[in-house]
Chain A
Amino acid sequence: MRPVHIAGIGQIPNVRGDTDHDEVQLVQAVASAALAEAGLHKDDIGFFCSGSSDYVMGRPFSFTMAIDGVGLWPPKRESHVEMDGAWALYEAWVRLQHGDVDTALVYAYGKGHGAPVDGMLTAQLDPYYEAPLGPSPMALAALQARALIDAGRLTERDLAEVVAHARRLGATHPGVPAIDGPLDVDALLDAPYVATPLRAHDEAVRTDGATAIVLSVGGGGPRIGGIAHCIEPIELGLRDLTAATSVRRAAAWAGLEQAGSIDVAELHATYSPQAVLLRQVLGLADAVVDPSGGALVADTPFVTGLSRIAEAARAVQGGAVRALAHASGGPCLQHNLICLLEAR
């Protein structure tokens, strides 16, 4: 494998309700910042890849508008995934393995605040058996939480603790909007249920934002030590919701067992039971988990996974030897990506 490094990162704060920037402006801000950090010009980049959803943005072909923000004229090699930007990074990593280009710019953008994200996620369920029933994402997360509680894997207090943890760390992170609500576990447990056993704060705060990452073969910056993804069936009834099978497999394929101890992990959990489950199956007892506050306090749809890679890379830049980034898509951790980052 060719060694691929994170050469530059571009981030803007995740906000609740961005009325000022369209997709071009969001992308321009983060792409220019990532290129500047890498010391590169857009004309130095061999491959461009983005992750976004027209259903999130509410306009068709949003991603073809967004390329203005990276200046793809004259035309360049470019691709897009209708997935979280973490999968755009995966495609770029594969593209760099071909050997003919040495740099890639990956970006993702989304507006989760004004978009009907719940309705969108429900509409993408199995069209015959599940979508017509209209279960909300919260309801599906509650099914998973109940299964985990009944299996003796977690308690409601565990859920409140991961929420309190996310809020405490997120409160001081510049990319996270102001925390709205208590930081204390007992106060969180006093909140009313929305879908038992889950409360409103067990769901991530949806935000607007963007992230960009420059990859280069060789050079400096955190090195991608392993990256892999794995998906489970869309029918929830075919899955063991307590097993996180695709998380385990993605981690194994990325080389987690051989990698040595993980210092920092950034997890793409949009519901608190997912945050607990991920900690368990990834074995993160000795790691600092979600130093950014994680997805629960700032979830920009189709960006959150790429942002986890960006935050893990920041941790390595800041002195961590080895960091893990996790990205997810689909209900109840259906599709998972693990990216291991190492100091050079």
Chain B
Amino acid sequence: MSEPVQRVLGPVALDYTVHAGSVTGAFLEALLDKRLVGRRCPSCAKVFLPPRGACPTCAVPMPEAVEVGQRGVVTTFSVIRIPFDGQVLTPPYAAAHIVLDGADTPLLHIVGECDVDTVRMGMRVEAVWADPIEPTLASVRYFRPTGEPDVAWDAFKEHLG
């Protein structure tokens, strides 16, 4: 009798053609011009960045495109200190929620060009673009401190959740 079978490999691979759609597509195209373009809800007037296909509170489409600033405020952050599968950056690095000037929703990104132990809530940061630019959010390499005074808690606390 031969060796008993202990495992069977059943590899599955599927190829997709996925379209970003008109809203996400417009956001990605604007990145090619180093612009960050969100959408304003016609009902609650909040500006979503990245844009979404509908306002998650009001459930209406958001046809109005709004370019937001390239500077913003860190509303919350975490310093990643351990390696994991699929990691792109080398620890330690700071992942942060950044509300850009003119936007009402936080963008998840990286804070760079500073000691991770100096990253703090209320810190002012600005986008640093990659070269070359591609239609993905990785075209913003990271956000770096601007050196401006910190933003007071009351000015960004509504964006925490």
Contact = CB atoms under 8 A, between A and B. Distances in A.
A59 interface: yes
B8 interface: yes
Contacts of B12: 119, 123
B59 A70 contact: yes
Contacts of B54: 24-25, 27-28, 68-69, 71
Interface string A101-137: 0000000000000111001100100011001100000
Contacts of B152: none
Is chain B's binding surface mostly helix, strand, loop or mixed? loop
Contacts of B24: 22
Interface string B89-104: 0000000000000000
Given A25-B61, A32-B59, A69 B14 contact: no
Contact of B22 (A21, A73, A115, A119): A21
A340 B54 CA distance: 34
Interface string A6-27: 0000000000001111111101
Contact of A25 (B8, B14, B21): B21
B22 A20 contact: yes
Contact of B8 (A31, A67, A69, A128): A128
A192 B2 CA distance: 46
- Identify whether the interface residues of A are mostly helix, strand, loop, or mixed: helix
B18 A58 contact: yes
B34 interface: no
Q: B interface, how many residues as a size bin?
A: 20 to 34
A20 B24 CA distance: 10
A23 B19 CA distance: 10
A227 B51 CA distance: 40
28 contacts: A18-B19, A20-B19, A20-B21, A21-B53, A22-B20, A22-B21, A24-B23, A24-B52, A24-B53, A25-B21, A25-B22, A25-B23, A25-B53, A25-B54, A25-B61, A28-B53, A28-B60, A58-B17, A67-B56, A68-B56, A69-B53, A69-B59, A71-B56, A72-B56, A114-B16, A127-B10, A128-B8, A131-B10
